[in-house]
């Protein structure tokens, strides 16, 4: 695998940082999660919980970090299984125990990369600042991932994905004209921040390979987002067309390139939708053909792309009258066979149970652990011919139970004997 031999000592929690190390794990890096039995990663202990086979659990709706206590097990938190594939291992170490801290320092000495996603300053307070770690391992690549990063005037600000999305313009650009922004109902930036965290790890490894030099790379959740709005910032600066203006954002309509009909149209069923997106004259003519050449389509207002864009409301009403009597997948397949870009609006259930493309591509991998029966889990969404990534990492295993690898890591990485490990455990250092 591409990153085989790269060892990452991983202190990340929740989504943002864990997304970065799961990517590295899927590419073959050895990822050792350092966890705590006393303060487990919240996504290990908050709903939704993976149910016993044949049962249905609680949905995420009621979850807060505040009510996360009282979970029966730290190994059933569903969201943990989204962000901790890649064959990650788990050890539990009490950093506030002197022997625990020594143990972490030994592990730093044996690691290429340290990753973490705590609030800025947390590792310093443990006695594991970058300066301390660099003294132990001079070529260490230390990648911190937190909302506002470790440098700058506002590093004490508290963020979740939706906070960063609001501040960076991403919330603003999802919405219908002249209504408040709708934004994203989930933390898209936990993913994007994690992708850039993975790039930071890889870039750090590449730089070290060339120069022998380690470094601290400071990843925030804000900077990865500022390029995601494409040309909108330049349009504001150059053409004096700020995004906060009447009629913008434009829902699903796009002015560039001009297109139409283009949007989400109601299909048969309760709140079912299908996207049709004609970007060329050819797409439009093929759509008209599939719809059976209805008389309204011959309206001269709809003859050109410019005309269709100008009269989009009327046009969309006609198209929706046609789609709304049909199944969204039937519309998609009929249009695609005729050469028109179209796609059903799918939710997670559709992706898992109806999407033949994801199934054929092997998008999901069945993985479990000692406590949880195999589930269809996700890794990285690309293939590599010479070094195929695997959702279960080098060892093809599922997300780890809390502390599952204590013995294997301490013996395998640090060469500790069973007696030494037992003594640490008895001393409370492995909690």
Partner 1 sequence: MSAPLDSVRVLELTDESADYCGRLLAGLGADVVKVEPPDGAPSRHIGPFLDDEPGPDRSLCFWADNVGKRSVVVDDDAEVVALCGSADVLVHTLRPAQAEARGLGFAALHELAPSLVVCAVTPFGSDGPWADYLADDLVLMALGGSMAACGYGPGADGVYDTPPLASHGDQAWRTASTYAAIAVLGALAWRTVSGAGQLIDVSAHECSASMTEWHLMTYLCSGGVHRRGPHPTLTASDGRQVAALNPDFLGPHVFAGMLEMLEREGVAGPLSDPAFADPVHRAGNYREVWRALKRLADKHDGETLYELGQSAGLPWGVIRSPDEVLDDRHLRARGHFVELEHPELGRSMVYAGAPFLAHASPWVMERRPPLLGEHTDEVRAQWAGR
Rounded to whole angstroms, the Cα distance separating 397 from 388 reads: 15
Per-position b or e across 308-333, b if 16+ CB within 10 A of its CB: bbeebeebbebbbebbbebbbbebbe
Identify residues 6-65 at the interface with partner 1 (CB under 8 A).
6, 15, 23, 27, 47-51, 56-61, 64-65
Q: Of 13 and 101, which has the nearer Cβ to partner 1? A: 13
Closest of 268, 274, 277 to residue 345, by C-alpha: 274
Q: Nearest approach, Cβ of 115 to partner 1 (angstroms)?
A: 13
| Residue 315 in the binding site for partner 1 (CB under 8 A) | no
Identify residues 365-404 at the interface with partner 1 (CB under 8 A).
375-376, 378, 380-387, 389
Q: Nearest approach, Cβ of 352 to partner 1 (angstroms)?
A: 7
Cis status, amide bond into 48, omega within 30 of 0: yes
Q: Nearest approach, Cβ of 102 to partner 1 (angstroms)?
A: 28
| Residue 87 in the binding site for partner 1 (CB under 8 A) | no
Residue from 126, 184, 371, 411 touching partner 1 (CB under 8 A): that is: 184
| Residue 98 in the binding site for partner 1 (CB under 8 A) | no
Q: How far separated are the first and last CA of the chain, in Å rounded? A: 32
| Residue 142 in the binding site for partner 1 (CB under 8 A) | no
Q: Nearest approach, Cβ of 345 to partner 1 (angstroms)?
A: 5
Closest of 120, 111, 284, 304 to residue 214, by C-alpha: 111
Asked if 378 and 67 count as a contact pair (C-beta separation under 8 A), the reply is no
Query: Which residues are CB-contacts of 199 (< 8 A; sequence separation ≥ 6)?
Result: none
Residue from 96, 110, 181, 411 touching partner 1 (CB under 8 A): that is: 181
Residue from 32, 35, 40, 81 touching partner 1 (CB under 8 A): that is: 81
Rounded to whole angstroms, the Cα distance separating 65 from 14 reads: 11
Give the CA count within 13 Å in the CB-facing half-sphere of 17: 29
Per-position b or e across 226-243, b if 16+ CB within 10 A of its CB: eeebeebeebeeeeeeee
Q: Of 231 and 418, which has the nearer Cβ to partner 1? A: 231
Q: Nearest approach, Cβ of 100 to partner 1 (angstroms)?
A: 23
Structure tokens at 404: 């599952």
Other beta carbons less than 10 A from residue 247's beta carbon: 7
What is the pattern of x (binds partner 1, CB under 8 A) and - over residues 330-349?
Answer: ------x--xxxxxxxxxxx
Q: Nearest approach, Cβ of 10 to partner 1 (angstroms)?
A: 17
Residue from 97, 149, 285, 326 touching partner 1 (CB under 8 A): that is: 149
Q: Of 90 and 220, which has the nearer Cβ to partner 1? A: 220
Rounded to whole angstroms, the Cα distance separating 94 from 424 reads: 10
| Residue 97 in the binding site for partner 1 (CB under 8 A) | no
Q: Nearest approach, Cβ of 24 to partner 1 (angstroms)?
A: 9
Residue from 53, 54, 153, 292 touching partner 1 (CB under 8 A): that is: 153
| Residue 318 in the binding site for partner 1 (CB under 8 A) | no
Residue from 204, 260, 261, 393 touching partner 1 (CB under 8 A): that is: 204
Asked if 47 and 56 count as a contact pair (C-beta separation under 8 A), the reply is no
Q: Of 158 and 426, which has the nearer Cβ to partner 1? A: 158
Residue from 52, 102, 151, 289 touching partner 1 (CB under 8 A): that is: 151
Asked if 365 and 377 count as a contact pair (C-beta separation under 8 A), the reply is yes
Q: Nearest approach, Cβ of 72 to partner 1 (angstroms)?
A: 14
Identify residues 210-229 at the interface with partner 1 (CB under 8 A).
210-211, 213-220, 222-224, 226-229
Asked if 88 and 35 count as a contact pair (C-beta separation under 8 A), the reply is no
Residue from 18, 104, 202, 331 touching partner 1 (CB under 8 A): that is: 202
Rounded to whole angstroms, the Cα distance separating 143 from 162 reads: 22
| Residue 309 in the binding site for partner 1 (CB under 8 A) | no
Identify residues 227-286 at the interface with partner 1 (CB under 8 A).
227-239, 241-244, 249-252, 254-257, 259, 262-266, 271, 273-275, 277, 279
Provide DSSP, 71-109: -S-TT-BHHHHHH--SS-EEEE--TTSHHHHHHHHHHHH
Residue from 98, 177, 195, 303 touching partner 1 (CB under 8 A): that is: 195
């Amino acid at each position: 695998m591409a990153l085989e031999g790269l060892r990452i000592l991983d202190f990340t929690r929740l989504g943002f940082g864990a997304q970065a190390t799961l990517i590295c794990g899927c590419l073959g890096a050895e990822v050792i999660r350092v966890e705590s039995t006393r303060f487990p990663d919240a996504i290990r202990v908050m709903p939704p919980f993976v149910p016993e086979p044949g049962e249905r659990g609680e949905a995420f709706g009621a979850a807060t970090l505040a009510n996360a206590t009282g979970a029966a097990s730290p190994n059933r938190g569903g969201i943990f299984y989204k962000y901790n594939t890649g064959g990650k291992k788990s050890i539990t170490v009490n950093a506030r125990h002197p022997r625990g801290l020594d143990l972490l320092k030994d592990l730093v000495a044996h690691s290429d990369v340290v990753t973490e996603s705590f609030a800025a300053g947390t590792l310093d307070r443990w006695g594991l600042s970058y300066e301390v770690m660099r003294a132990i391992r001079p070529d260490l690549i230390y990648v911190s991932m937190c909302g506002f990063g470790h440098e700058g005037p506002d590093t004490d600000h508290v963020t979740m994905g939706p906070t960063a999305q609001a501040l960076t313009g991403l919330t603003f650009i999802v919405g219908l004209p002249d209504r408040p922004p709708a934004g994203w109902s989930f933390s898209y930036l936990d993913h994007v921040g994690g992708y850039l965290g993975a790039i930071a790890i890889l870039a750090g490894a590449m730089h070290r390979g060339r120069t022998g030099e380690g470094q601290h790379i400071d990843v925030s959740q804000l900077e990865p987002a500022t390029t995601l709005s494409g040309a909108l910032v330049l349009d504001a600066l150059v053409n004096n067309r700020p995004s906060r203006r009447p009629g913008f954002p434009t829902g699903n309509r796009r002015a560039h390139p001009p297109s139409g009909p283009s949007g989400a149209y109601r299909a048969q069923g309760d709140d079912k939708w299908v996207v049709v997106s004609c970007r060329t004259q050819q797409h439009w003519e093929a759509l008209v053909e599939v719809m059976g050449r209805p008389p309204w389509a011959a309206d001269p207002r709809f003859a050109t792309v410019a005309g269709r864009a100008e009269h989009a409301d009327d046009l969309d009403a006609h198209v929706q009258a046609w789609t709304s009597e049909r199944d969204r997948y039937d519309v998609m397949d009929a249009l695609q066979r005729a050469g028109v870009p179209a796609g059903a609006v799918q939710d997670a259930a559709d992706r898992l149970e109806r999407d033949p493309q994801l199934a054929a591509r092997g998008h999901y991998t069945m993985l479990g652990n000692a406590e949880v029966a195999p589930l269809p889990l996700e890794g990285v969404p690309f293939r590599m011919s010479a070094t195929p990534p695997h959702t279960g990492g080098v060892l093809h295993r599922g997300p780890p139970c809390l502390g599952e690898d204590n013995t294997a890591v301490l013996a395998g990485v640090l060469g500790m004997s069973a007696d030494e490990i037992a003594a640490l455990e008895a001393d409370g250092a492995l909690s």
